[in-house]
C-alpha cells in the first residue's frame, strides 16, 4: 500500500520509496535491532542502579535533590530550567513531597522500558515512554545523554511497525491488531429512504 498525503489542493504526494521501506518492510527491523537493544540496555542498567539505591527506591531523596538543583535560580548565568511553568510544576511536586513516590515510578519505569526494548515488547510504546522521560530530564536542565536517547526513541516510535519485528512484536502486533478488530463494534449504517413519488 502506498502512503500518500493530501494537500489543500487535493494533490496526492507519495512518500519516498526508501522511507516506506524503512518504516514498513520487515527486514528494516534489522537496522533498528541494534539501536533498540542498545537503548534498552542503557535504560535497564540505569533502572537497576536506581532500584539498588535507597535514595531512589526508598526515600526519594535522590530525586528531591535533583529537583531542588533544577529549580534553583543562580545569581549569575542562566538557570537550569528555561521555562517558568516547568519550574512551577517541579516546585509543586517538591512542596507536596511527590518525590517519595515519583522516584519509585522513575526507577521501575526505566527498568521496564529497558526490558521491553531489549525483548521488542510493544517497542513503539516503550520507546515513547522512554523518550518522555528523556524529555523531562532535559526540561529539568539535564542534557547529558538524553538528546541522543530521545533521538533514537523517536526513530523507534516512528518505525513502530518494524522496530520490534525481530522481537516479541513479531507475534504481539498481529495478535493485538486481531484482538482490536474483534472487539470493535461494526459501524451501523442507517438506510436512506427512497424518495417518494409526487402524489404518494
Q: pLDDT, tens digit, for every residue of 167-191?
A: 999 998 887 766 445 665 554 454 4
Using DSSP's 3-state secondary structure scheme, residue 49 falls into helix
- CB burial of 7-40 (b: ≥16 within 10 Å; e: otherwise) equals eeeeeeeeeeeeeeebbeeeebbeebbebbbebb
pTM (predicted TM-score): 0.80
Total length of the chain: 200
Cite the beta strand spans of the chain per DSSP E: 4-6, 12-14
Q: Which of 108, 151, 153, 159 is nearest to 126 (CA)?
A: 153
Structure confidence by residue, pLDDT tens digits, 25-71: 788 889 999 999 999 999 999 999 999 999 999 999 999 999 999 99
Predicted confidence at residue 185, as pLDDT, reads 54
C-alpha 111: how far from chain center:
15
Structure confidence by residue, pLDDT tens digits, 91-140: 999 999 999 999 999 999 999 999 999 999 999 999 999 999 999 999 99
DSSP code at position 26: G
Contact predicate 148/130, CB 8 Å: no
Residue ranges covered by each domain of the chain: 28-178
Q: Looking up cell 498481529, which residue turns up?
A: 174
Taking the CB of residue 183, how many other CB atoms lie within 10 A of it? 7
Amino acid at each position: 500500500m502506498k502512503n500518500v498525503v493530501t494537500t489543500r489542493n487535493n494533490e496526492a504526494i507519495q512518500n519516498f520509496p526508501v522511507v516506506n521501506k524503512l518504516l514498513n518492510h520487515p527486514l528494516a527491523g534489522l537496522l533498528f535491532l541494534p539501536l533498540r537493544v542498545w537503548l534498552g540496555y542503557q535504560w535497564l542498567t540505569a533502572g537497576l542502579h536506581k532500584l539498588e539505591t535507597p535514595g531512589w527506591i526508598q526515600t526519594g531523596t535522590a530525586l528531591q535533590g535533583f529537583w531542588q538543583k533544577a529549580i534553583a535560580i543562580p545569581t549569575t548565568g542562566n538557570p537550569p530550567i528555561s521555562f517558568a511553568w516547568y519550574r512551577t510544576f517541579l516546585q509543586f511536586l517538591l512542596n507536596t513531597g511527590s518525590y517519595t513516590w515519583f522516584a519509585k515510578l522513575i526507577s521501575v519505569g526505566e527498568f521496564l522500558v529497558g526490558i521491553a526494548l531489549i525483548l521488542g515488547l510493544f517497542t513503539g510504546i516503550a520507546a515513547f515512554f522512554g523518550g518522555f522521560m528523556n524529555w523531562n530530564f532535559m526540561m529539568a536542565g539535564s542534557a547529558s545523554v538524553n538528546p541522543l536517547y530521545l533521538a533514537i526513541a523517536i526513530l523507534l516510535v516512528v518505525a513502530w511497525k518494524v522496530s520490534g519485528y525481530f522481537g516479541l512484536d513479531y507475534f504481539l502486533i498481529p495478535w493485538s491488531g486481531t484482538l482490536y478488530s474483534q472487539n470493535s463494534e461494526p459501524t451501523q449504517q442507517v438506510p436512506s429512504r427512497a424518495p417518494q413519488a409526487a402524489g404518494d
